[in-house]
Chain A
């Protein structure tokens, strides 16, 4: 089945230790998104790629970076995680930017910072 896959499902990192979260998709969608979702809150968009075009949200901290080496994969890098970065990180895709095409979400990676 075509899908959005996130690895790992659970990630524990130490304060200040860089961590990378992975997302892959078999939908061949042009757009990939990374969201941060804290407990009992709405998902907050960090950035998105339209093909290779990177679009950062204005309030996304510099501590968060992303890479998209090809259509299928997208990575979220947190350079120096703080305790406040503990959250669920959701990857999503859409066929195109026109949001009449719905977004397809992965199951998320829950990040714990110790």
Chain B
């Protein structure tokens, strides 16, 4: 079975540009979460979606937005890129939410964004 897939794997942008990152969850998983992992840091929560609805938002500026589609895939959009947005962006899926009964997120390998 395919795991969580993310695209692109690597990309380079310049300050002020916009970026769209894509994620396909594991088949049957209805919840998608996005995390930002800066160099030398642990993943930091950005968004969680369940059945196309935003369920939780982390402490990120409004330049960050996301959406989930009827097939449960998801996009993360970042506008007006800053140098500090350079990071590995991780997508994770889960069968259901809340996670209390399973507690497991399945992560993709991430999209590494470099902002110059």
Judge: A and B partners, yes or no.
Answer: no
Chain B residues with a Cβ under 8 A of chain A: none
A residues near B, CB below 8 A? none
